[in-house]
Amino acid sequence: MNEDKYAKVLHLDNVLPNAWGEKYRKANSFLACIECGRSTSKNGESQGIYIVDGGIGVAHPDQPEMKDGGDMGWFPVGSECIKKVPAEYRVPNPYDNKVKGV
C-alpha cells in the first residue's frame, strides 16, 4: 500500500495562526507554548503537536515517520491554545525527562 505521507498533515497556519511568533521567540523555554509563548507545564505534563515539513505542518500521531529533513519533532501547546488543535492531533509530552526535553 502506497499511502500519501501528507494525507494526515494539517497546515500549521490553519491550526495555530500565531505559531512561532514573537511571544514564542521571547519565551526562551523548552515548555513554552508555540502559539502564545506562555509556560505550558512546570512538571512536563504538556500536550503538544508533532511538527513536520520544516515547521509548517502538523502531523497526525498515527502518521508514518517523515524522514525528509523537515521533521522537527514534538512541540508544546498551552492548555487554552490546544483547544484550537483537533483532538486527534494532540500528543502528550513524549520525552523521558519531560521538563528538559531529553
Residue range of the domain that includes 88: 9-92
41-64 tens-digit pLDDT: 878 788 999 998 888 999 988 876
The answer to whether residue 17 is domain-embedded is yes
The answer to whether residue 83 is domain-embedded is yes
> Is residue 33 classed exposed, middle or buried when 0-12, 13-18 and 19+ CB atoms within 10 A define those classes?
buried
14-50 tens-digit pLDDT: 999 999 999 999 988 888 999 999 999 878 788 999 9
* Count: domains in the chain: 1
Three-class SS string for the chain?
CCCCCCCCEEEHHHHCCCCCCHHHHHHCCCCECCCCCCECCCCCCCEEEEEEHHHCEEECCCCCCCCCCCCCEEEEECCCHHHHCCHHHCEECCCCCCCCCC
